[in-house]
Amino acid sequence: MRLNDDAIFIADSHTQKNRDALIYKLNNLKMIMPKIPSQIVLLGDIANLLVGGIKSSEKENEELIKCIKNIKSQIIYFEGNHDFNLSKIFDCDNITTISRASQPIIMQYKNKKILLAHGDIFLNKQYELYINTITSNKVITFLNYIDFISKNIIFDFIQKKIKAKVIKYPNNEDSIIQSRISKYKTYIKLLDTKIDMIIEGHFHIGKIINDKDFVYVAMPSFYHNAKIFDLKNIKFAII
């Protein structure tokens, strides 16, 4: 898969009802940007809670889903820990979903190789067990069933818990960055190939680090400042 010169990257908008800045921006790209990008990469947690296959979750996010489906650009949507099982929702020709199990993936940009992920990888065994359980087809099917028979009470309960959670900036961003760079270096050794850039979200940091081995882009949270990453100019910008 190749990245276009005008590709933009968006991460961690945590969109939900009454928190729809991203929806407004995407619906009005013609007015906001000089030219609509041909490619938009969504790096996960775009929704605050969106689980494909759970009908009440899809209904709760129908405005965001409609917005993304209406975009004419190529969309590459990486699943996050707040939005997953997305292939059940986005079946459009111009939308590609990247499951969490497939991340990170290598994409080509000109003569460079870029590694991309939402970011909740290489953490610890406990987290892996948790996320692999809640994103499994069996668990999603079960949750959809009990949500249906409870008349959406289950989903409403989970959603209230997630809505009540404060979306924070990290208070130890430098140590997170060093840890992430170290873990990616270990992973890249297994790939046995040169990686020129890594782009990931999840940590809400918003920094670009020029390491001796690669450029590490720790995406900002769109929720906090409406910032994107501009690939051509290797910088963050506000839309």
Residues 194-205 have pLDDT tens digits of 999 999 999 999
> Does residue 220 have a cis bond before it (omega within 30 degrees)?
no
Helix axes 137-149, 153-164, angle to 10 degrees: 110
Q: What is the side-by-side strand order in the sheet with 215-218?
A: 105-109, 112-117, 197-200, 215-218, 207-210
Predicted model pTM: 0.95
Which residues are registered as beta bridge partners of 208?
217
Tens digits of residue pLDDT in 132-172: 998 999 999 998 999 889 888 888 888 888 888 888 888 89
- β 215-218/207-210 pair status: antiparallel
CB 147 within 8 A of CB 56: yes
pLDDT at 220 over 90: yes
The pLDDT assigned to 223 comes to 96
Q: What is the mean predicted confidence (pLDDT) over 41-63?
A: 95
In the numeric block, the tokens 């979903």 are attached to: 97
Tens digits of residue pLDDT in 56-97: 999 999 999 999 999 999 999 999 999 999 998 998 899 999
CATH number for 8-238: choose from 3.40.50.150, 3.20.20.70, 3.40.190.10, 3.60.21.10: 3.60.21.10
